[in-house]
C-alpha cells in the first residue's frame, strides 16, 4: 500500500473515532444551556450576586460561593469522587452525580444531583431551602422559579399593577406594600424605573397588556437593583412618572405627544422647558410646566394647580392611613395631564413632591406666572356622604371698599387684598366647576360657598378651593382613590374651564 494511501486510511479512522467520541459525549454529558445569569442573595443589610447556570432545566449555583456568601468556609478536602467542607461547626460531604448531601452525619436529599461543572462544584437551587437553613440556623425564603433568595430577617415588599386607558394614552398604577424612591431612565426604547434599595419580591415577574400604548411591564433585579422596565408599543410617546401616597403608589402616564403649540413666556416668567424622555439622573416627579418646541405664537392661558398641605403638613387622614397631602397630589396629577392633553393651557404647580409651601409661596407662584385660573385642592370631613365635592371662592372678612371717582386708583394691589379684585370671576369659576361636578354619577355636590380661605386671599386671578371628601379618621379612602372617579373629576375641570373660555358658566 502506498504511503499516501496509508496516511489517508489512518486519517479516515481518526475522523470516524472523533465522531464516535463526540456522539458518546453528547449522549452521556449533561445537556446545558449556554447562558450565564445572576442569582441575588438578599440579607438584612446587604446583597450578593452569584452566577448560576442551567443544566437539564435545573438551576445550579457554585457551592463554595453560596457558603462564603452566608458565612465562611473553614476548610475543605477534595478527592476524586468526593468533597468535604467545614463550615462553622458543621461538616458537609458531597459526591458528584449524587442527590444526597451529608451534613454532620445526616443525609439530606436533593431533587437533582450535585455536579462538577468546569472544575467547580455546583448544587441545584433546592440546596438553598433543603441544606442552607440547617447550616445557617436562619430563615430562608425562596419562591420557586425566581432568581432571588431572602436570608435572615429580610421583609421584602411587593406590589400590584393596573393599567387604565386614557383619552390619548394609558396610566400605569403600581401600588407597593412599602414606600419606594423612584428614579427613572430610558434604555433601548424602554423606560426603566429604579425602585430604591429595599428588597422586592414581585407577585408576577412580568405583565403583558393588550393596550395600544403599552405592551408589557417586567420586574428585574439581576444586577441587585430592583427595577421595573416598561415597554411602549411604539417610539415617540411621552412618559410622565409620579409618586403618590408618600411613595406607596407610582403613577406613570404614557401619552401620545400633543401637536406643537406655540407658547411665549409672559413678563416675569422664565421660559418653560420641553418635556423629554427621562434621563438616568432625571427627576422622580414630572416638571411643573410643559412646553413643546414650536415656532413663536400667542401665549396660552396659565392654570395654576395647588395641592394643599405637603411636607410637615399632612392635613387630614383616613381610617386606612391615607394622608390628605398625598390624596390631593393624585388629583392634581390627573387634572394636570387632562389639561395638557387639550393643548389649550400652560400648567404651573405650586408644589411638586412632598414639599412644604407657605400660603405666600403658593400665591407668588400664581401671580408671577400671570395665572388666569388658580385651583386649590383639599380633602377633609365635609359630611357623611362620600365622595362629596364643595367648591369655595374667597369671602373677605369685610366688604371691599367701593372705588369712586374721588378714590385714586392705587399703583399696586396690597398683597392681602389681591383676590378682592376677582371675587365675581372666582364665583363664576366655582359655578362652572359645580355644574360639571354634578354630572358625575354617585357624587354629592354642594352649592358653591364663600369663605375666608387663606390660600386664596393673595391670588391675583380667578381662584377657588375644591374640597373633596370624605377623608376622615372614621372613613376609608376607597371612594376618593378610585382611578375612575379621579379621572371624572379631572375631566370635569377641563370642561368647566372650556365653558368659561367660551364665555359661558
Paired strand residues for 58: 55
Report the alpha-carbon distance of residue 461 to residue 370 in Å, rounded. Answer: 8
d(CA 214, CA 171): 9
Please tell me whether residues 77 and 183 are part of one structural domain. Answer: no
String of b and e for 88-104 (b: at least 16 CB within 10 Å)? eebbbbbbeeeeebbbe
**Burial class of residue 292, CB neighbours in 10 A (0-12, 13-18, 19+):** middle
What pLDDT, on the 0 to 100 scale, is given for residue 165? 86
31 has pLDDT over 60: no
Which pLDDT score, from 0 to 100, does residue 368 have?
A: 81
Out of 113-122, 191-200, 392-401, least confident range: 392-401
The answer to the question of residue 17 being in a domain is: no
Number of domains in the chain: 3
- The per-residue pLDDT for 417 is 85
Residues 335 and 454 both lie in one domain: yes
Q: How many CA atoms lie within 13 A of 162 on its CB side?
A: 11
Given a cut of 60, whether residue 21 has pLDDT beyond it is: no
Q: Which residue has the higher pLDDT, 392 or 385?
A: 392
418 shares a domain with 344 = yes
The confidence score (pLDDT) of residue 338 equals: 92
CB-based contacts of 221, cutoff 8 Å, min separation 6: 40, 148, 200, 227
The answer to whether position 359 is within a domain reads yes
Instruction: Tell me the pLDDT band of 7, cut-offs 50, 70 and 90.
Output: low
Instruction: Look at residue 8 in the predicted model and tell me its pLDDT.
Output: 54
Show which of 151, 183, 208 is a domain's final residue: 151
Give the distance from CA 496 to its chain's centroid.
Answer: 31
Looking at the fold, whether 49 and 146 belong to one and the same domain comes out as: yes
Element (DSSP H or E) covering residue 151: strand 148-151
Identify whether the C-beta of residue 48 lies closer than 8 Å to the C-beta of residue 70: no
d(Cα 466, Cα 390) in Å, to the nearest integer? Answer: 6
Decide which of 413 and 34 is more confident.
413
Looking at 151, 176, 211, which one is the last position of a domain? 151
**pLDDT averaged over the chain?**
82
Return the pLDDT at 27.
38
The β-bridge partners of 391 are: 466
Mean pLDDT over residues 130-144, rounded?
89
The predicted-structure confidence for 281-303, as pLDDT tens digits, reads as follows 333 334 333 333 334 446 789 99
- Is 294 contained in some domain? no
Q: For residue 295, is it within any domain?
A: no
CB within 8 Å of 44: residues ≥ 6 apart? 152, 153, 154
| Helix, strand, coil percent values for the chain (each to nearest 5) | 25, 30, 45
Whether residue 387 has a cis bond before it, omega within 30° of 0: yes
Express each pLDDT in 52-69 by its tens digit.
Answer: 999 989 999 999 999 999
What mean pLDDT is predicted for residues 429-433?
97
Start-to-end CA span in the chain (Å): 111
118, 209: one domain: no
What is the percent of the chain where pLDDT is above 70?
81
Question: For residue 67, what is the domain's CATH number?
Answer: 3.30.457.10
> Quick one: 138 and 182 in the same domain?
no
Are 302 and 266 in contact, with CB atoms under 8 Å apart?
Answer: yes
Same-domain check for residues 310 and 254: no
Nine cell digits for residue 98: 449524587
Give the whole-angstrom CA distance, residue 306 versus residue 323.
Answer: 16
What per-residue confidence (pLDDT) applies to 33?
36
Segment 146-155, tens digit of pLDDT: 999 999 999 8
Residue 369: what pLDDT? Answer: 83
Higher model confidence: residue 247 or residue 130?
130
pLDDT for position 125: 94
Residue 1 lies in a domain: no
Rounded Cα–Cα distance for residues 472 and 100 (Å): 60
As a whole number of angstroms, the distance between CA 57 and CA 36 comes to 13
In a domain, 22, yes or no: no
CATH number at residue 173: 2.60.40.3500
Question: Of 151, 183, 210, which residue constitutes the final position of a domain?
Answer: 151
Based on the domain organization, do 281 and 306 belong to the same domain?
A: no
Please check whether residues 452 and 392 belong to one and the same domain.
Answer: yes
Residues spanned by the domain of 435: 300-398+411-505
Q: Indicate if 177 and 281 belong to the same structural domain.
A: yes
| Paired residues of 307 in beta bridges | 377
User: Residue 491 is part of a domain; what is its CATH number?
Assistant: 3.40.630.40
Taking alpha carbons only, the member of 149, 153, 144, 137 closest to residue 66 is 149
Statement to judge: residues 245 and 308 lie in one domain: no
**Residue 332 belongs to some domain of the structure:** yes
Same domain, 206 and 280: yes
pLDDT of 127 > 50? The answer is: yes
In a domain? residue 67: yes
Amino acid at each position: 500500500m502506498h504511503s499516501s494511501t496509508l496516511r489517508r486510511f489512518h486519517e479516515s479512522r481518526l475522523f470516524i473515532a472523533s465522531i464516535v467520541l463526540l456522539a458518546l459525549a453528547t449522549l452521556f454529558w449533561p445537556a446545558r444551556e449556554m447562558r450565564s445569569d445572576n442569582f441575588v442573595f438578599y440579607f438584612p443589610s446587604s446583597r450578593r450576586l452569584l452566577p448560576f447556570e442551567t443544566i437539564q432545566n435545573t438551576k445550579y449555583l457554585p457551592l463554595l460561593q453560596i457558603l462564603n456568601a452566608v458565612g465562611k468556609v473553614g476548610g475543605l478536602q477534595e478527592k476524586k469522587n468526593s468533597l468535604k467542607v467545614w463550615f462553622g461547626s458543621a461538616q458537609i460531604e458531597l459526591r458528584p452525580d449524587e442527590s444526597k448531601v451529608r451534613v454532620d452525619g445526616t443525609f439530606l436529599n436533593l431533587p437533582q444531583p450535585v455536579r462538577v461543572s468546569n472544575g467547580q462544584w455546583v448544587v441545584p437551587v433546592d440546596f438553598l431551602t433543603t441544606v442552607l437553613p440547617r447550616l445557617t440556623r436562619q430563615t430562608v425564603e425562596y419562591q420557586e422559579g425566581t432568581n432571588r433568595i431572602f436570608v435572615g430577617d429580610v421583609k421584602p415588599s411587593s406590589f400590584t399593577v393596573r393599567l387604565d386607558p386614557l383619552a390619548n394614552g394609558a396610566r400605569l398604577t403600581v401600588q407597593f406594600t412599602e414606600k419606594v424612591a423612584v428614579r427613572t431612565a430610558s434604555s433601548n426604547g424602554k423606560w426603566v424605573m429604579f425602585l430604591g434599595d429595599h428588597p422586592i419580591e414581585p407577585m408576577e415577574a412580568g405583565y403583558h397588556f393588550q393596550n395600544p400604548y403599552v405592551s408589557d411591564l417586567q420586574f428585574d433585579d439581576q444586577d441587585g437593583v430592583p427595577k421595573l422596565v416598561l415597554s411602549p408599543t411604539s417610539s415617540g410617546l411621552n412618559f410622565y412618572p409620579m409618586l403618590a401616597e408618600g411613595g406607596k403608589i407610582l403613577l406613570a402616564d404614557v401619552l401620545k405627544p400633543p401637536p406643537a403649540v406655540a407658547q411665549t413666556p409672559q413678563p416675569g416668567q422664565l421660559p418653560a422647558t420641553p418635556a423629554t424622555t427621562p434621563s438616568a439622573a432625571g427627576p422622580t416627579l414630572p416638571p411643573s410646566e410643559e412646553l413643546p418646541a414650536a415656532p413663536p405664537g400667542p401665549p396660552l392661558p396659565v392654570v395654576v394647580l395647588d395641592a394643599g398641605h405637603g411636607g410637615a403638613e399632612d392635613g387630614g387622614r383616613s381610617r386606612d392611613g391615607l394622608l390628605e397631602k398625598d390624596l390631593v397630589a393624585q388629583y392634581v396629577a390627573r387634572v394636570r395631564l387632562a389639561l395638557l392633553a387639550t393643548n389649550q393651557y400652560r400648567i404651573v404647580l405650586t408644589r411638586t413632591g412632598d414639599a412644604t409651601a407657605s400660603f405666600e409661596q403658593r400665591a407668588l407662584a400664581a401671580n408671577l406666572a400671570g395665572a388666569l385660573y388658580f385651583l386649590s385642592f383639599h380633602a377633609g370631613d365635609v359630611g357623611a356622604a362620600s365622595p362629596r365635592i364643595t367648591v369655595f371662592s374667597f369671602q373677605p372678612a369685610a366688604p371691599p371698599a367701593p372705588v369712586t371717582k374721588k378714590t385714586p386708583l392705587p399703583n399696586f394691589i396690597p398683597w392681602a387684598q389681591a383676590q378682592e379684585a376677582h371675587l365675581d370671576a372666582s364665583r363664576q369659576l366655582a359655578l362652572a366647576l359645580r355644574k360639571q361636578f354634578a354630572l358625575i354619577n354617585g357624587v354629592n355636590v354642594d352649592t358653591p360657598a364663600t369663605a375666608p380661605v387663606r390660600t386664596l386671599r393673595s391670588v391675583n386671578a380667578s381662584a377657588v378651593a375644591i374640597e373633596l371628601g370624605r377623608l376622615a379618621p372614621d372613613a376609608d379612602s376607597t371612594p376618593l382613590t378610585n382611578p375612575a372617579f379621579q379621572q371624572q373629576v379631572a375631566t370635569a375641570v377641563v370642561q368647566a374651564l372650556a365653558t368659561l373660555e367660551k364665555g359661558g358658566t
